[in-house]
């Protein structure tokens, strides 16, 4: 049975992970997120060493054995870690190359576009396409201006009803439902979930609120 994508897609950026007690923090948080109802999580680490990425991801995999875990960028580490998929952007491997390496059973996400869809992107063998930035963001570097709700509506109209569009950047609980109503399949959220002191309680609020 195909995986049913949730309304909220938490993205754990390495900037939200403390240096001291890192493994214990990730173990506790991973378990609490699973208990809160998270079914899909991305781990993103743009600056860490291979050793740090491997250590963090291994803890998350152990703490969240039944959760779909996505690794940002690193197609080469998916098999070793037993992760369920990868998110690739421009400068990484193409979705087609990632699919060839990982096979049909893993989830592959990629950037779909900002003010408009990238040419030919919907022909790529990806399971979801991120769009945005929807609003200004501080957790991911981007040179693209925010597209707002109107941009989400435009990209949905262009893509048609079937593709899974993941709206990203600057989305809060107060704005998330409007983003979904504008045509996004999921909202990707980093700071609004992982900056608060209790990410599990926060994500539970999101899951209970979004329709």
pLDDT over 50 at 90, yes or no = yes
Q: How far is CA 131 from CA 106, 155, 158, 179, 183, in A?
A: 21, 8, 12, 11, 11
- Mean pLDDT computed over 6-23: 96
d(CA 124, CA 160): 15
Show me where the domains of the chain are located: 8-209
pLDDT of residue 140: 63
Instruction: Name residue, tokens 């039944």.
Output: 66
31 versus 3: the higher-pLDDT residue is 31
**What are the tokens at 111?**
């950037």
**What are the tokens at 143?**
């040179």
pLDDT in tens, 157-209: 999 999 999 999 999 999 999 999 999 999 999 999 999 999 999 999 999 99
pLDDT band of residue 1 (cuts 50, 70, 90) is: very low
Asked whether 90 and 111 are in contact (CB, 8 A), the reply is: yes
Q: How far is CA 62 from CA 24, 26, 36, 105, in A?
A: 12, 10, 17, 20
- pTM, full prediction: 0.95
DSSP 154-193: HHHHHH-SSS-EEEESS--HHHHHHHHHTT-SEEEESHHH
What is the third-level CATH fold of 8-209?
A: TIM Barrel (3.20.20)
pLDDT of residue 141: 65
Least confident of 102-116, 133-147, 159-173, 175-189: 133-147
2 versus 131: the higher-pLDDT residue is 131
For residue 143, give the H/E element and its range: none
d(CA 176, CA 190): 13
């Amino acid at each position: 049975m195909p995986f049913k994508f949730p309304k909220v897609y938490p993205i754990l950026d390495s900037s939200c992970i403390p240096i001291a007690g890192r493994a214990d923090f990730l173990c506790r948080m991973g378990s609490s997120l699973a208990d809160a109802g998270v079914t899909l999580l991305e781990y993103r680490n743009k600056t860490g060493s291979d050793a740090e990425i491997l250590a963090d991801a291994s803890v998350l995999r152990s703490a969240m054995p039944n959760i779909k875990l996505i690794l940002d960028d690193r197609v080469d580490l998916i098999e070793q870690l037993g992760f369920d998929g990868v998110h690739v952007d421009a400068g990484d491997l193409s979705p087609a190359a990632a699919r060839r390496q990982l096979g049909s059973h893993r989830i592959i996400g990629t950037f779909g576009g900002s003010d408009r869809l990238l040419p030919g992107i919907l022909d790529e063998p990806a399971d979801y396409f991120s769009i945005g930035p929807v609003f200004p963001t501080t957790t991911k570097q981007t040179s693209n201006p925010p597209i707002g709700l109107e941009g989400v509506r435009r990209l949905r109209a262009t893509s048609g009803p079937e593709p899974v569009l993941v709206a990203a950047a600057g989305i809060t609980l107060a704005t998330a439902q409007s983003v979904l109503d504008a045509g996004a399949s999921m909202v990707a959220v980093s700071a609004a979930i992982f900056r608060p002191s209790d990410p599990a309680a926060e994500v539970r609020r999101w899951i209970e609120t979004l329709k």
